[in-house]
Amino acid sequence: MANQPKNLGLLHEDKTGLLKHREWRGLKDTMYDYYRWLITWKDMIVMVLKAPVSTIKGLWNYRWMASYLAAPAWIDRHTEGTRGTHLRIAHLHFNAMIKHTCNMIHMLFKHDKHFHPNDKF
């Protein structure tokens, strides 16, 4: 079958599990995957730029915040081997979750009593 993913286990380093290179899915699907990967990073960068000081304080004060920096790798792992319509649907859902999560984290840090004691939200 031509559309079946090949060599998925060979994309990762043996002991670390890190990606050696991006998966080739054909020109159209690879470009779409890369485009959506950039959108994920854009949403995360916009969140940081809205309140950079609060975000940096959040990274230092809340251990769970660092796990959100791995969101693009998490999406890559969950879309591995998908092509066509499945790839597009998966990315639309994941990007909706990332965008909402970034907005929620921004609101949490913007009104955090540790960082802004006089906030009346």
User: Looking at residue 97, what is its pLDDT?
Assistant: 94
Cβ neighbour number for residue 82 with a 10 Å cutoff? 18
CA gap 113, 118 in Å, rounded: 8
Specify if 50 maps to a domain: yes
Q: Using only C-alpha atoms, what is the Rg of the chain?
A: 17
Query: How many domains does the chain divide into?
Result: 1
* Three-state secondary structure readout of 42-57: HHHHHHHHHCHHHHHH
Please give the pLDDT value at position 74: 86
The answer to whether position 78 is within a domain reads yes
Expressed as residue numbers, the domain containing 91 is 25-110
pTM, 2 dp: 0.74
In a domain, residue 38? The reply is: yes
pLDDT digits (tens, 9 = 90+) for 54-96: 888 888 888 888 888 888 888 888 888 888 999 999 999 999 9
pLDDT of residue 35: 95
Q: Please compute, for residue 18, the number of CA atoms within 13 A of its CA located in the half-sphere on the CB side.
A: 3
The 8-class DSSP code of residue 73 comes to H
